[in-house]
Structure 1
């Protein structure tokens, strides 16, 4: 049993040791995959759809086992796992349809993000208002790009946007790691 709580410095040092262990490798891997997605966006689109489909199939199977072990008797108890499995299998069988579905989710995301940015611009009337409006306009333009090119453009756009996101995630991971190492000195 602990008599006293660890200090903040002890916690930060422990986090740095565990965080820094693989962060450079993961950051570089994210950047490389992201660049690969920009070079071959259709392949990254297919990998993204396959990854999501795999998660859906695994989740559906686990939920089926769970429902079976709980001895469920109502149809409603079996609908969720069957829906997860069905959507996952359809995405695997028809990858272009899965990619087009992901593009629809991107459209929804960008429209909602634009709405948030425009409403935030009213909340922050002086500081950063222009950036919120600018970001909202960019979100609307990206949503329109997805809508205008849907479904055929989804094959390329999903890969490009996932690739760009992975590149930025890798860069941010490197920056966070470097700032954490710099602050611990």
Structure 2
């Protein structure tokens, strides 16, 4: 421009990096306010993922049956496909099952972490603590009534999105601060 002002474009705005974090926070708050819908959406999402992954694994396994080892991939793919279809058929039951599976995974992981604590030379206290927490949380999830488990998944997803958004906003803010500090030091 002739009068000395510089033209600003929307692409020059430095706040674009904050938008994903803000979006995560907004989606997380919405997920918390609509926990049942979030749980259903999660059940559908996991079911669709299992169907896609199962179909690819099945086709890949069938295509390698003659070379050996393909049977296992085909069977696991077929199993994933069947479970995915079951999740899509009844996403509420799929969401509840998902919570109980996470509970079982936490219990097994907790047992392994606790056992590992006695064989490692460092971090023993933390491994015992994490193992006990995982075991207790897993037991809590496995003993939940179906309606509690259904709501828990929606709340868990919402809280996860909020914390992911907060972390993203704080990380971007920190990166901007570092960039500003470096620019001032160079100048």
TM-score, length of structure 2 as denominator length: 0.68
Aligned runs of 1:46-125 on 2, under 5 Å?
46-68=40-62, 70=63, 72-73=65-66, 75-111=71-107, 112=109, 116=113, 119=117, 123-124=122-123
Moved over 6 A (4+): none
Contact 2:27 2:158 in 1 (8 A): yes
Distance 1:93 1:183 in 2: 50
User: Number of residues paired by the alignment?
Assistant: 162
For the residue of structure 1 that corresponds to 2:59, the secondary structure is helix
Aligned runs of 1:29-44 on 2, under 5 Å?
29-44=23-38
Contact 1:34 1:163 in 2 (8 A): yes
Aligned equivalent of 1:164, options 149, 159, 167: 159
Q: Which moved more, 1:141-150 or 1:84-93?
A: 141-150
Q: Deviations over 1:153-181 (max 9, x none)?
A: 11101111111111101100111111112
> Cα 1:75–1:21, aligned 2, differ >3 Å: closer, same or farther?
farther
> Cα 1:23–1:90, aligned 2, differ >3 Å: closer, same or farther?
farther
> Cα 1:138–1:79, aligned 2, differ >3 Å: closer, same or farther?
closer
Distance 1:44 1:140 in 2: 26
| Structure label with greater radius of gyration | 2
What runs of 5+ residues in structure 2 fail to find an aligned partner?
Answer: 1-13, 181-187
Distance 1:81 1:144 in 2: 29
Q: Deviations over 1:57-102 (max 9, x none)?
A: 111222233345x353564342122111111001111212211221
RMSD between superposed Cα atoms in Å: 3.5
Distance 1:139 1:55 in 2: 26
What runs of 5+ residues in structure 1 fail to find an aligned partner?
Answer: 1-19
TM-score, length of structure 1 as denominator length: 0.69
Larger RCO, structure (CA 8 Å, separation 6 or more): 1
